[in-house]
Amino acid sequence: MAIEIKNADVVATDTWISIWYKDQREQILKDLKGYTVTNELMKKAKPDAIFIHCMPIFYGEEVTKEVAHGPQSVIIDEAENRMWAEMALMVNLLRRPK
């Protein structure tokens, strides 16, 4: 199976196994085998392509540690943006009515 990312600007993945599907772990890992984002895969994207992932990350499943923390990764920036968005929601939701 080949993953086609030629000319990709962004390579994105997510956690394969959420807390709701822990009992299906083995089947999910079997179904998604070959879809791990690796350095070799990132080389097929544009040279300035970025890697994003909303975390948590399970290294070796959806992405390798080298990609997740490599020079093309923006996962920390993505996490910070998410934090500020969540904080803004909390401020607005918890604001007392006047």
CATH topology of domain 10-94: Rossmann fold (3.40.50)
Domain boundary assignment for the chain: 10-94
CB-based contact 53:12 (threshold 8 Å)? yes
- pTM score, two decimals? 0.82
Taking only the tens place, the pLDDT of each residue in 17-27 is 887 888 999 99
Residues 34, 1: Cα–Cα separation, whole Å: 7
CB atoms within 10 A of CB 67: 25
Taking only the tens place, the pLDDT of each residue in 32-45 is 999 999 999 999 99
Taking only the tens place, the pLDDT of each residue in 42-68 is 999 999 999 999 899 999 999 999 999
Q: How would you class 35 by CB atoms within 10 Å of its CB: exposed for 0-12, middle for 13-18, buried for 19 or more?
A: middle
